[in-house]
Amino acid sequence: MLTTLRRIVLEFSQEPELNNALTRMVTQVKEAMLTDCCSVYLADYTKEHFLLLASDGLAKNSLGNTAIGFSEGLVGLVGQREEPLNIPDAHQHPHFKYSPEVEEDELRAFLGTPIIHQRKVIGIISIQQREARSFNENEEAFLVTLSAQLATSFADVEARSDLQQASNSQWSKPIAGIPGSSGVAIGEIIVKQPSVDLRKLSLKKAYSKNIQITRLSSAVSSTKSDFERMGSQLGNLISDNSLDIFEMYKQMLESPQLIDEIESNIQSGWNAESALKLVIDSYVLQFEALEDPYLRERATDVRDLGNRILMHLQAELGKTEQLPEQFILLAEDVTASMLAEYQNQGLIAVVSVSGSNNSHAAILARALGLPAVMGIEAVALDLLDHKDAIVDGYSGEIFVTPNENLTREYLHLIDEEKALTAKVRKVADLPAVTLDNQSIELLINAGLTSGFDNSVHSSSSGIGLYRTEIPFMNRSCFPSEQEQTVWYKEVLKAFPDKPVTMRTLDVGGDKSLPYFPIVEENPFLGWRGIRITLDHPEIFLLQVRAMIRAHQVSNNVEIMLPMIASISEVDEALRLIDQAYFELKAELSETLTKPKVGIMIEVPSAIFLMAELAQRVDFFSVGSNDLTQYLLAVDRNNARVANLYDAYHPAVLRALNSIAEQSKNSNTSLSLCGELASEPAGALLLLAMGYNKLSMNPHHLAKVKWVIRHVEFSKVQSVLKHALSLMSPQEVKSYLNEQLELFGLGSFVRAGL
């Protein structure tokens, strides 16, 4: 039976047209179960009925014409109960509804089960038989298993079928994705398929090793020139560190390790393309295994780099193409280099089938002010090519061939957006102070390079989170103390009079370095963060010494310890920091000051130890993204449960409020790094709770400042009190949107928020 199930599901998922897929499936199920009839009904929530779409056993004329209300008949009862219904004689059941057009007079036994996708009944599958009997356990188990396995494929095929039948006058159902960059755009979709793809490349041998190395050298040189050109072009438009990706690309191309590994494969007999594929694939696998979502997205960047080199190897660049004056870019995997190529050719929005809001495509889109939706539902790209669409970067939705009313609504929204953007820019360099003089510091998150511009200096109060692990990942071994000192000095010089909070090396578990592999059964709860650096003090001491050396010059370093779960971890880390400090004090003749030391609160256990921790450290910094994941036990990058991840969950808000209250009681400085800080409603709640500092991506600073400067702290405190009493994320967000409207900040409220 398992083989039969797999075959039915596989064939169903491979058929692009819904009616054909259903017709074949009901016949296969009827034959496999040796029954007299198999039928499938599709739920229509606008009309509140189940529509008979396919059947092998019922009258053909009834297909597409017979509808059963959600509260009618046995089919409706299955949908209401959301569980299988096994009835020996359907005609005797009180819920039986007689529909003469389906011609089921001779069919007695009935077994129906719901098809449920993401907690929603999307259809009913039933089998019937002339003999009045109860279907046995094996038959019921087969149908239940089939419906469960069909659910995702059923939803995908239905979505594809909807697209095929869509017309300009009737399509309004959105394609759902992940908000990648806020904003709205209306235009024509242009689908871009990669001209080359390392993943599809077949490995080949070559005997002319010198020729292959020469080809590789030329391709690498051309690729480096590409990235220099892209960085230069975008540098005229972007003023923050979003362009770090192109610097990272150049660093990788200049890295002896990468080129040596490729050339080593060439020496082993592979041609240049194959040698490149072997190395890039190995790096991609390492990044894809990482837990940190920001770092895991770097797999896309590495693949993008490899494909760019491959394009030069295969001379696929320079081909001309016709593009509309304005267009929406849609690709299986939108990359940073794709954005750089098209941003000056009429690009108005970005849609990517894969990726998340941590991808560099999303980061660059935000910096460029382009709406972006990432990780959309699985749809055939060819069906979307050259179709008009609305991209809603707030809700993460795409409306294909929208009707006039919907288009008119979004055109009005676009006009509002333009006015709002111009308005918030006016406060970019002003302090974040409420109308009744309550202030809060706004800082930025950083990590790839030390490149910061003057606008970032003036608008932020410093760096609230500097990720030190990125440079560690672009090497073949651990960096020396001298190398790290140079890195950190560059960052500190960019903010000479402002604090820079550097997080100590946050790797381990499935976030392993290429030269320090770690294999674990459950890396999400494994050897990572402070756990690994305490187990390897030689790594920790070198990094802390480098931070203290850099601090000696600018006197603005704050050291932050990640993944703290116990007091003993802090005590041991502080002992090592003291050791590094006194060692350097003995070595250096100049006066040496010790940086402030704080911890990240991202493991729930730390919330219950804050009184003791406050006696040991100088500040707390909440990592709200990870804390939310751990509190709710939800992997926000897992599509099946990502909808359960919500920073406005009452448990999360109450935990954040408890942290703020405990920090206030111990008189300990408190900051927060995470997406919640960059959202207007979230920033106001955190302000009311008592957070001293909020750290976010630079492009959110002006927006958050505007909101803070246009509210009264006393009123925001009242909003917080009521928000903490609510029972669900939906209630919280609805209430907060209402309050933003009352504050006169309705332009910051968008559909789907």
Give residue-wise pLDDT tens across range 426-467.
Answer: 888 899 999 999 999 999 988 754 445 544 556 788 999 998
Cα–Cα distance, 543 to 602 (Å, whole number): 22
Instruction: Provide the pLDDT for residue 699.
Output: 75
Query: Which residue in 172, 184, 174 sits closest to 403, CA to CA?
Result: 172
Query: Which residue in 703, 692, 686, 684 sits closest to 652, CA to CA?
Result: 686
Cα–Cα distance, 308 to 289 (Å, whole number): 23
Q: Is 37 a catalytic residue?
A: no
Mean pLDDT across 594-623: 97
Question: CB–CB of 657/689 below 8 Å?
Answer: yes
Question: CB–CB of 655/685 below 8 Å?
Answer: no
Instruction: Provide the pLDDT for residue 199.
Output: 78
**Count of Cβ atoms closer than 10 Å to residue 192 Cβ:** 18
Query: Which residue in 507, 565, 533 sits closest to 292, CA to CA?
Result: 507
DSSP state of 94: T
Q: Is 38 a catalytic residue?
A: no
Query: Which residue in 532, 536, 463 sits closest to 501, CA to CA?
Result: 463
Domain spans of the chain?
2-165, 175-193+319-402, 198-313, 430-718
Is 198-313 CATH 1.10.274.10? Answer: yes
Question: CB–CB of 390/398 below 8 Å?
Answer: yes
| Encoded tokens for 611 | 């009184």
Give residue-wise pLDDT tens across range 630-687.
Answer: 999 987 656 567 678 899 999 999 999 999 999 999 999 999 998 899 899 999 999 9
Mean pLDDT across 93-122: 92
> In this model, does residue 161 exceed pLDDT 70?
no
Q: Which residues pair with 501 in a beta bridge?
A: 558
Query: Which residue in 677, 680, 728, 734 sits closest to 707, CA to CA?
Result: 680
Give residues with Cβ within 8 angstroms of 57, minimum separation 6.
30, 36, 37, 38, 39, 104, 107, 128
Give residue-wise pLDDT tens across range 508-555.
Answer: 644 567 677 766 666 667 787 899 899 999 999 999 999 999 999 889
Query: Which residue in 281, 322, 290, 286 sits closest to 197, CA to CA?
Result: 281
- Per-residue confidence at 176, pLDDT binned at 50, 70, 90? confident
Question: CB–CB of 52/64 below 8 Å?
Answer: yes
- Of the candidate CATH numbers 3.30.450.40, 3.40.630.10, 3.30.450.20, 3.40.50.1100, the domain formed by 2-165 belongs to 3.30.450.40
377, with CB counted inside 10 A (0-12, 13-18, 19+), is middle
pTM of the predicted structure, to 2 decimals:
0.69
Q: Which residues pair with 559 in a beta bridge?
A: 502, 597
> In this model, does residue 160 exceed pLDDT 60?
no
- Per-residue confidence at 171, pLDDT binned at 50, 70, 90? very low
4, with CB counted inside 10 A (0-12, 13-18, 19+), is middle
Domain 175-193+319-402 falls in which CATH fold?
A: Glucose Oxidase; domain 1 (3.50.30)
Strand bridging mode 178-181 / 372-374 = antiparallel
- Residue in the structure block whose two tokens are 């894809």: 288
> In this model, does residue 492 exceed pLDDT 80?
yes
Question: CB–CB of 705/722 below 8 Å?
Answer: no
Question: CB–CB of 502/488 below 8 Å?
Answer: yes
| Encoded tokens for 420 | 């709002």
DSSP state of 194: -
User: Higher confidence at residue 355 or residue 45?
Assistant: 45
Question: CB–CB of 95/77 below 8 Å?
Answer: yes
Q: Edge-to-edge, what's the strand order for the sheet holding 347-352?
A: 175-176, 397-400, 388-392, 184-191, 327-331, 347-352, 372-374, 178-181
Cα–Cα distance, 551 to 249 (Å, whole number): 29
DSSP state of 528: B
Q: What is the mean pLDDT of the chain?
A: 86
- Of the candidate CATH numbers 3.20.20.60, 3.40.30.10, 3.30.420.40, 2.160.10.10, the domain formed by 430-718 belongs to 3.20.20.60
Give residue-wise pLDDT tens across range 316-375.
Answer: 544 556 788 999 999 888 887 788 788 888 999 999 987 776 677 787 888 788 999 988
Strand bridging mode 175-176 / 397-400 = antiparallel
Give residues with Cβ within 8 angstroms of 229, minimum separation 6.
none
| Encoded tokens for 134 | 């109860």
Q: Which of 551, 673, 699, 700 is catalytic?
A: 673
Q: Which of 38, 49, 312, 360 is catalytic?
A: 360
Look up residue 713 and give its amino acid: F
Query: Which residue in 32, 24, 1, 128 sits closest to 73, CA to CA?
Result: 128
| Encoded tokens for 164 | 């095929």
